[in-house]
């Protein structure tokens, strides 16, 4: 599609962090953006910022762990706009109790429900529209932890993010014949609000050296701008000052 044609993007986790930055970058490129997340107030702020900048956006609250709710929202987007060209699965969480010696099953289940099941629910929900179009892109925001195992993110987060990588490749194996493609975006440390849930919160100086949300926003917009013949299967991206390579007390905890 060209920039002059209507392109509709659905961004989950669109109220903050990578999702917010992705929505803003896509809107700046002419996409009509629908942002979803659990907090309507943050979604409304994102929509307001986009429209003030001249973009087109709307908010639909959503808990991605609710499969029926996901189907309803996808149907509403198609009813409003007639199509869904891009899904950005950016909704994701972690918990403070993330080590084997303090992890709780409720925390594990919550991560699986949002970080993995929620991704699948949204992918499945957009498939009918994308198959009809014979065109569509899905960007699944995983993590550096989806490729490399380390102690700091914890077993639940690491497991779900690895699973998203496998899910993305599985999608491409089946749906490439329908003109669909998916990218697993695996960023290293990004200075987003989720860092506040870490047992040791990185300092402002450390966060300034991390990837910033806008870096991932630009990456999402780049993937989305490529022609239908191009499938970027995965992107592994990190800060130059990668704390996984530079051992510090914080990332050993």
Q: Which active-site residues does the annotation give?
A: 157
Alpha-carbon gap, residue 49 to 82, rounded angstroms: 25
Strand 56-59 with 86-89, pairing: unpaired
Q: Nearest CA to 248 among 195, 204, 202, 209?
A: 202
Strand 234-237 with 8-12, pairing: unpaired
Strands laid side by side in the 86-89 sheet: 56-59, 32-36, 8-12, 86-89, 136-141, 180-187, 234-237
CA distances from 170 to 41, 65, 90, 174, 196 (A): 35, 21, 19, 7, 33
């Amino acid at each position: 599609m060209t920039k002059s044609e209507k392109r509709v993007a659905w961004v989950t986790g669109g109220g903050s962090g990578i999702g917010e930055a992705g929505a803003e970058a896509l809107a700046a490129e002419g996409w009509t953006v629908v942002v979803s997340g659990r907090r309507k107030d943050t979604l409304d702020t994102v929509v307001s910022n986009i429209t003030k900048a001249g973009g087109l956006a709307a908010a639909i609250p959503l808990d991605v762990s609710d499969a029926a709710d996901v189907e309803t929202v996808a149907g509403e987007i198609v009813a409003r706009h007639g199509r869904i060209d891009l899904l950005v699965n950016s909704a994701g969480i972690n918990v403070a109790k993330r080590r084997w010696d303090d992890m709780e099953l409720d925390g594990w289940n919550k991560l699986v429900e949002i970080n993995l099941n929620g991704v699948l629910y949204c992918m499945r929900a957009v498939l009918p529209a994308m198959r009809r179009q014979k065109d569509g892109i899905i960007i699944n925001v995983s993590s550096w932890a989806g490729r490399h195992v380390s102690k700091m993110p914890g077993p639940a987060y690491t497991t779900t993010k690895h699973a998203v990588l496998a899910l993305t490749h599985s999608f491409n194996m089946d749906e490439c014949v329908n003109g669909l493609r998916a990218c697993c975006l695996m960023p290293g440390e990004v200075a987003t609000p989720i860092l506040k849930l870490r047992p040791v919160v990185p300092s402002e100086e450390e966060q300034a050296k991390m990837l910033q949300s806008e870096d991932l926003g630009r990456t999402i917009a780049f993937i989305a701008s490529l022609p239908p013949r191009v499938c970027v299967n995965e992107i592994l991206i990190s800060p130059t000052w990668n704390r996984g390579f530079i051992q510090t007390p914080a990332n050993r905890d």
